[in-house]
Every structure is written in C-alpha cells, then in structure tokens.
Amino acid sequence: MIPLGPGVRVYLAAGATDMRKSFDTLAALVQETLAADPFSGHLFVFRNRRGDRVKVLGFDGQGYWLFYKRLEQGTFAWPGPEQAALTVDSAVLTLLLSGVDWRRFSPRSLARPQLAA
C-alpha cells in the first residue's frame, strides 16, 4: 500500500484523464486544473474515461513517483464532473484502490474508534 505520512492529503481529480500522460504532464494538470502544488507531498489521483484505471502521482522530496492500477472487473468509484477535485483521507484512498465504492460509507463509519473512558 502507499505509505501516507501525517498531514498528507489525497486529491481526486474529477472527470477523466488520459492515462498516456507522464509525470510532468500530470504535474502540470495538478497546477492548472486543481490549483495545487505538485511538490507539496500530497497525493493526486486521476482516473481514465472507462473508470477501470487510476494513476496516483506523488512527490517524495527527491522526485515524482507514479502508482498505476487497473481493475480486472468493475470500475473505480469517482466524484461527479461538477467538482474540479475532491479531498479525501487515507481510509477513502484505501477503499478506492481496493475497488470498493467508498461513497456508500459515511464519514462516521470511516472514523477511527476511540478508547473507552
């Protein structure tokens, strides 16, 4: 799984992205479309038109890395095109990359359990 440090945000780029795009082209999309800094250390997730492939772009201080996943069956759950981007947490990213429809879960059900008093 992708290691996430504290304070790392995950941005889902709404709409479809051409999966032939490279590191630099995806970083330019982050700047232009999402109005975010691709060197921030946050993760940026892009999905193709069919919905069966995603790319995750990250920067670790030394260079970009790219995670690519293709589902054999089904599609990745994705926000509607009316949003430029959606910020999610690491739990939602885990569900998303597992092929689970994370939109069915409420934020409360994804919250971490607390110790009993």
Residues of the chain with pLDDT > 70, as a percent, come to 85
Q: pTM here?
A: 0.83
| Sequence ranges of the domains in the chain | 10-104
User: How many Å apart are CA 28 and CA 25, to the nearest integer?
Assistant: 5
Residues of the chain with pLDDT > 90, as a percent, come to 51
Q: Is the pLDDT of residue 2 over 70?
A: no
User: How many Å apart are CA 5 and CA 30, to the nearest integer?
Assistant: 20
For 54, phi then psi, to 5°, come to: -135, 155
Residue pLDDT, tens place only, 77-116: 888 777 778 888 888 888 889 888 888 875 554 455 555 5
CA angle 13, 51, 40 (to 5 degrees): 25
